[in-house]
Structure 1
Amino acid sequence: MAYDLEEQEKLDALRAWWERYGTLCVVIAFVIAASVAGWRGWQWYQGHQASQAMGYYEALENAATQDGDDAITRVQAASQTLRDDFAGSGYAVRGALVAAESLRRRGELDAARAQLEWVVAKSGDAALIPLARLRLAGIMLDQKKYDEALSQLDNAPSSFAGLYADRRGDILFAQGKKDEAHAAWENALKLLGTDPLTQIVQLKIDALGEA
């Protein structure tokens, strides 16, 4: 009898606990299950987005190696999709750089410039923005927009200082400022150190002396 009373007390205590905390337990269990499901869903979505972005990037790379107006259209379309729909994927920035180079080779300077300006203004990728600015200065040089080109070379990051100085020399030379171009190229030699590019810079200086 004592045993039955003890069991009944335990059951009554359990029932009372459940009446007090049961709803809370159900809610907590639901929140945990929903959180796990949401996290797995987010991971799937992220993976799906990355897979789609990679597909567009590969299509862009493939089109960039081909010739003809159709290839240009496909390069621009793939890059636009990456920038519009997958801007945070990493493929958008790399795609814009590939597209810009492809368009530059085809003489589509305005279109190439637009790609690089997006990288500089919108990408937020601190590692690739300096490269985009360097290439943008080169396109502006080809367009004879010298002051705009020089403005891209301000505040050069240390890892690009030598390359920026070399490009500055190119722009100054195109403006007919030979002394300033010489000084810029000399500075580039110092900053580049043992980089193989110093041979090309030295050739520019030598050619300037002979001009």
Structure 2
Amino acid sequence: MALNVDHSEEEQVEALKRWWKEYGGSLIIGIVLGGSLIAGNKWWQQHKVSQAESGSTAYAAFLKSVEANRYDEVIKLGESLVGEHSGSSYSDLTRLILARVAFDKGDTDKAKTHLQSVLDNTHDSGVKNTARLRLARLLESAGENDKALAMITDVTGIAGFEADYAELRGDLLLAKGSRQDAKKAYEEAAKKAGNSEYSQLLKMKLANLGAG
């Protein structure tokens, strides 16, 4: 009986050796890869947290310089933040402010560049609509009414901004001499604005057209 047991054990050992020879390497690779994936995922999560904290700190410093009207520092910190945190919400918001700063300094081309970058890259619908409306206003101020009108026509995903788009469309149509179409746009804007202070401004525009 002992011989049978020994023989059985030898067969098991040999079978184990054959299995290890055939699958052992793959098993090790699987373990290594699995460990690497876990470690990599943990590193990525930590990296994202670190980036978010870094972006928050940089944005806070940027806002302080804006509030203090330190123009040179605003540009330096803003451009640094945009470069180091590209694709983040901090980058989008920073570009919106840099666009305003550039406009206030008379550099409309720079302002347009910042706004277009936000429009092209942000994934936030609110930020995207804000950038589009501001860019269209810049085009309006430059007399590029047709281009501005095309930019805000047949745009989707404007929930919460319907009145703003309608008002701007009215301003652009009025500038082009289309008073009746402008009136319709202002009426739409006033309806979307509801009972708010903003609606009072729109009613004034309608009154100036002889429609209120």
| TM-score, normalised with respect to structure 1 | 0.78
Cα distance in 1 between the residues matched to 2:13 and 2:56: 60
Residue 43 of structure 1 aligns with an amino acid whose one-letter code is Q
Instruction: Encode CA deviations 1:3-50: one digit per residue, 9 max, x unaligned.
Output: 544444433433333233222222221221222222222223333333
Which sections of structure 2, spanning at least 5 residues, go unmatched? none
For the Cα contact (< 8 Å) 2:62–2:74, is it kept in 1? no
Identity, in percent, stands at: 28
The corresponding residue for 2:92 is 93
Note if 1:69 corresponds to 2:68.
Answer: no
Unaligned runs of 5+ in 1: none
CA contact (8 A) 1:156 1:164 kept: no
The 1:129–1:47 alpha-carbon spacing in structure 2 relative to 1, beyond 3 Å, is same
CA distance change for structure 1 residues 153 and 76 in 2, over 3 Å: closer, same or farther?
Answer: same
Code of the residue aligned with 2:148 in structure 1: it is: A
Mean alpha-carbon deviation: is it higher for 133-142 or for 154-163?
154-163
Residue type of the partner of 1:201?
A: L
In structure 1, the residue matched to 2:149 is 150
1:68–1:95 Cα change, 3 Å: closer
- Give the Cα separation in 2 of the matches to 1:101 and 1:49: 26
For residues 106-155 of structure 1, give each alpha carbon's deviation from its aligned partner in whole angstroms, at most 9, with x where no partner exists.
Answer: 55433222211111233354443222111112222333332332222211
Matched residue, 1:135: 134
Within 1, Cα distance between the matches of 2:61 and 2:143?
Answer: 32
The structural deviation recorded for 1:75 is 5.5
In terms of mean alpha carbon deviation, does 160-169 or 183-192 score higher? 183-192
Residues 71, 16 of structure 1: alpha-carbon distance in 2 compared, 3 angstrom cutoff: closer
Letter of the 1:89 partner, please give it: S
What is the RMSD computed on CA atoms of the aligned residues?
Answer: 2.9
Shift of 1:105: 4.5
Q: CA deviation at 1:174?
A: 4.5
More moved, 146-155 vs 11-20: 11-20
